[in-house]
Amino acid sequence: MSTSTEKLEREEKLEGIGCSRKRKEDPRFIQGKGNYVDDVKLPGTLFADIVRSPYAHARIKSINKDKALAVPGVHAVLTAADLKPLNLHWMPTLAGDVQAVLADEKVHFQYQEVAVVIADNRYIAADAVDLVEVEYEALPVLVDPHKAMDADAPILREDIKEKADDGKGAHKHPNHIFTWEVGDDEATTQAFNAADVVVTEKMYYPRVHPSPLETCGCVASFDKVKSHLTLYITSQAPHIVRTVVSLLSGIPESKVRVISPDIGGGFGNKVGVYPGYVTAIVASIVLGRPVKWIEDRMEHLSTTAWARDYHMTGALAADKEGRIKALRVNVLADHGAFNSHAQPTKWPAGLFSICTGSYDIPVAHAKVEGVYTNKAPGGVAYRCSFRVTEAVYVIERMMDILAQKLGIDKAEIRRRNFVKPEQFPYHTALGWELDSGDYPKALQKVLEAVDYDGLRREQQEKRARGELMGIGLVTFTEIVGAGPSKACDILGVGMFESAEIRVHPTGSVVARMGTLSTGQGHQTTYAQIIATELGLPSEDIQIEEGDTDTAPYGLGTYGSRSTPVGGAATAMAARKIRDKAARIAAHLLEVSADDLDWEVDRFKVKGVPGQEKTMKEVAWAAYNNVPDGMEMGLEATNYYDPPNFTYPFGAYLCVIDIDKCTGEAKVRRFYALDDCGTRINPMIIEGQIHGGLTEGFAVAMGQQMPFDEQGNLLGNTFMDYFIPTFVETPFWETDYTVTPSPHHPLGAKGVAESPHVGSIPCFTSAIVDAFSHLGVTHMDMPHNAYRVWRKIHELGLDKHE
Amino acid sequence: MIPSEFEYHAPHSVAEAITLLTQYPEEARLLAGGHSLLPMMKLRFAEPAHLIDINGIKELKGISEQGNVIRIGAMTTESELIDSALLNEKCPLIPAVARLIADPQVRNRGTIGGDIVHGDPGNDHPAVMLALDARFILQGPEGERTVPANGFFLGTYSVGMAADEILTAILVPVFASSTGYGFNKLKRKTGDFATAASSVVVQLQGESCADIRIALTNAGPCAFRAEAAEDLLKGQVITDALIEQAAQKVMAACEPDEDLRGDAEYKTHMSAEMARRSIRDALTKAKG
Amino acid sequence: MTKKHISFQLNGRPVDALVEPRELLVHVIREQLGLTGTHIGCETSHCGACTIDLNGDSVKACTVLAMQADGGDVMTVEGLADNGALHPLQEAFMQEHGLQCGFCTPGMLIRAYRFLKKNPNPSDEEIRTGMSGNLCRCTGYQNIIKAVKAAAEKMQSA
pLDDT digits (tens, 9 = 90+) for A640-683: 999 999 999 999 999 999 999 999 999 999 999 999 999 999 99
What pLDDT, on the 0 to 100 scale, is given for residue A483?
82
What pLDDT, on the 0 to 100 scale, is given for residue A345?
85
* CA nearest to C104, candidates C143, C66, C71, C67: C143
pLDDT tens, position by position, A243-278: 999 998 999 999 999 999 999 999 999 999 999 999
* CA nearest to A597, candidates A584, A612, A587, A610: A612
Are residue B192 and residue B218 in the same domain, yes or no?
yes
Burial class (CB in 10 A: 0-12, 13-18, 19+), A181: middle
Q: What is the CATH number of the domain that holds B200?
A: 3.30.390.50
In a domain, B1, yes or no: no
Residues in a beta bridge with B209: B204
Chain C's closest residue to B106, CA to CA, is C59
pLDDT band at C84 (very low <50, low <70, confident <90, very high): confident
Are residue B169 and residue B200 in the same domain, yes or no?
no
For residue A701, give the amino acid letter: M
In CATH, the architecture of A37-141+215-263+270-303 is Alpha-Beta Complex (3.90)
- Rounded CA separation C46/A640 (Å): 43
Task: Give the Cα-Cα-Cα angle B165, B167, B170 (nearest 5 degrees).
Answer: 155
How many CA within 13 A on the CB side of residue A308? 31
> A389-482+644-705+713-794: what fold?
Aldehyde Oxidoreductase; domain 4 (3.30.365)
Domain end call among B173, B207, B228: B173
DSSP conformation class of A355: T
Mean of the per-residue pLDDT values for chain A? 96
Contact B10/C at CB under 8 A: yes
Are residue B84 and residue B167 in the same domain, yes or no?
yes
* CA nearest to B223, candidates B159, B148, B174: B159
Chains that touch C (3 or more CB pairs under 8 A): A, B
Question: Is residue A320 helix, strand or coil?
Answer: coil
- Rounded CA separation B247/B258 (Å): 20
Question: Is residue A25 helix, strand or coil?
Answer: coil
Q: Which of C33, C99, C101 to mutate to test the interface with A (most CBs of A within 10 A)?
A: C101
DSSP calls for A373-407: -SS------TTSSTTHHHHHHHHHHHHHHHHHHHT
Name the pairing type of β-strands A602-605 and A612-614.
Answer: antiparallel
What pLDDT, on the 0 to 100 scale, is given for residue A1?
46
Chain C, 95-154: which have a CB under 8 Å from a chain B CB? 111, 115, 129-133
Contact (Cβ atoms closer than 8 angstroms) between residue C76 and residue C11: yes
State whether C130 and B191 contact (CB < 8 Å): no
pLDDT tens, position by position, B91-112: 999 999 999 999 999 999 999 9
Are residue B102 and residue B165 in the same domain, yes or no?
yes
A256 contacts: CB under 8 Å, gap ≥ 6:
A228, A229, A231, A242, A245, A246, A249, A548
Helix (H) or strand (E) holding A533: helix A522-534
Instruction: Give the distance, in angstroms, between the CA of residue A522 and the centroid of all CA atoms in the same chain.
Output: 16
Q: What percent of chain A has pLDDT over 90?
A: 93
Contact (Cβ atoms closer than 8 angstroms) between residue B210 and residue B236: no
Domain map of chain C by residue range? 4-79, 88-157
Strand order in the sheet with A649-658: A468-477, A649-658, A665-675, A733-736
Are residue B193 and residue B166 in the same domain, yes or no?
no
Q: How far is CA B52 from CA B8, B56, B72, B140, in A?
A: 6, 10, 21, 15
- Rounded CA separation B31/B53 (Å): 5
The alpha-carbon gap from B110 to the nearest alpha carbon of chain C, in Å, equals 10
Other C-beta atoms closer than 10 Å to the C-beta of A174 total 18
Q: What is the CATH number of the domain that holds B139?
A: 3.30.465.10
Are residue B41 and residue B89 in the same domain, yes or no?
no
In a domain, B153, yes or no: yes
Same fold, A3-34+497-640 and A389-482+644-705+713-794: yes
What pLDDT, on the 0 to 100 scale, is given for residue A169?
59
Alpha helices in A232-325 (DSSP H): 238-249, 275-287, 297-303
State whether A212 and C134 contact (CB < 8 Å): no
B236 contacts: CB under 8 Å, gap ≥ 6:
B208, B209, B242
pLDDT tens, position by position, A523-567: 999 999 999 999 999 999 999 999 999 999 999 999 889 999 999
Are residue B224 and residue B128 in the same domain, yes or no?
no
Question: Is residue C146 helix, strand or coil?
Answer: helix
Does the pLDDT of residue A686 top 50, yes or no? yes
Catalytic residue positions of A, numbered: 236, 383-384, 753
- Rounded CA separation C142/C146 (Å): 7
- Average pLDDT on C132-148 reads 98
**HEC-encoded secondary structure of chain B:** CCCCCCEEECCCCHHHHHHHHHHCCCCEEEECCCCCHHHHHHCCCCCCCEEEECCCCHHHCCEEEECCEEEEECCCEHHHHHHCHHHHHHCCHHHHHHCCCCCHHHHHHCEHHHHHHCCCCCCCHHHHHHHHCCEEEEEECCEEEEEECCCCEEECCEECCCCCCEEEEEEEECCCCCEEEEEEEECCCCCCCCCEEEEEEEEEECCEEEEEEEEEECCCCCCEECHHHHHHHCCCECCHHHHHHHHHHHHHHCCCCCECCECHHHHHHHHHHHHHHHHHHHHHHHCC
State whether C100 and A687 contact (CB < 8 Å): yes
Does the pLDDT of residue C45 top 60, yes or no? yes
- Rounded CA separation A497/A494 (Å): 9
- Average pLDDT on A430-457 reads 98
Are residue B29 and residue B45 in the same domain, yes or no?
yes
State whether A26 and C135 contact (CB < 8 Å): no
Q: Which domain holds residue B157?
A: 61-173
Does the pLDDT of residue A164 top 70, yes or no? no
- Rounded CA separation A599/A613 (Å): 10
In a domain, B2, yes or no: no
End-to-end Cα, chain B, rounded Å: 50
Contact A720/C at CB under 8 A: no
Chain B's closest residue to C127, CA to CA, is B104
End-to-end Cα, chain C, rounded Å: 51
State whether C140 and A694 contact (CB < 8 Å): yes
Backbone angles phi, psi at B67, to 5 degrees: 70, -130
What pLDDT, on the 0 to 100 scale, is given for residue A344?
87
- Rounded CA separation C119/A432 (Å): 55
pLDDT tens, position by position, A101-131: 999 999 999 999 999 999 999 999 999 999 9
Domain map of chain A by residue range? 3-34+497-640, 37-141+215-263+270-303, 389-482+644-705+713-794
Q: What percent of chain A has pLDDT over 70?
A: 99
Angle of the A439-450 helix axis to the A452-464 helix axis, nearest 10:
50
- Average pLDDT on A602-614 reads 96
Contact (Cβ atoms closer than 8 angstroms) between residue A393 and residue A203: yes
Residues in a beta bridge with A90: A100
- Rounded CA separation A715/A639 (Å): 44
In a domain, B56, yes or no: no
The alpha-carbon gap from C50 to the nearest alpha carbon of chain A, in Å, equals 11
Are residue B259 and residue B196 in the same domain, yes or no?
yes
Contact A686/C at CB under 8 A: yes
- Rounded CA separation A72/A124 (Å): 8
Angle of the C142-157 helix axis to the C88-95 helix axis, nearest 10:
140
Does the pLDDT of residue A50 top 50, yes or no? yes
What's A3-34+497-640's CATH class?
Answer: alpha beta
Chain C, 64-83: which have a CB under 8 Å from a chain A CB? 76-78, 80-81
DSSP conformation class of A562: I
What pLDDT, on the 0 to 100 scale, is given for residue A171?
82
Rg (CA), chain C: 16
Are residue B134 and residue B185 in the same domain, yes or no?
no
A505 contacts: CB under 8 Å, gap ≥ 6:
A619, A620, A622, A623, A624
Are residue B193 and residue B161 in the same domain, yes or no?
no
Superfamily of domain C4-79: Beta-grasp domain (3.10.20.30)
Contact (Cβ atoms closer than 8 angstroms) between residue A62 and residue A134: yes
* CA nearest to B261, candidates B127, B130, B121, B109: B121
Facing residue for C101 by CB, picked from A211, A265, A692: A265
Residues of chain B whose pLDDT is less than 50?
none
Does the pLDDT of residue C134 top 70, yes or no? yes
Contact A799/B at CB under 8 A: no
Are residue B81 and residue B38 in the same domain, yes or no?
no
Contact A126/B at CB under 8 A: yes
Rg (CA), chain A: 28
Name the pairing type of β-strands A493-494 and A497-503.
Answer: unpaired
What pLDDT, on the 0 to 100 scale, is given for residue A607?
94
Helix (H) or strand (E) holding A186: helix A185-194
DSSP conformation class of A654: E
In CATH, the architecture of C88-157 is Orthogonal Bundle (1.10)
Instruction: Give the distance, in angstroms, between the CA of residue A559 and the centroid of all CA atoms in the same chain.
Output: 4
Does the pLDDT of residue A801 top 70, yes or no? no
- Rounded CA separation B144/B14 (Å): 11
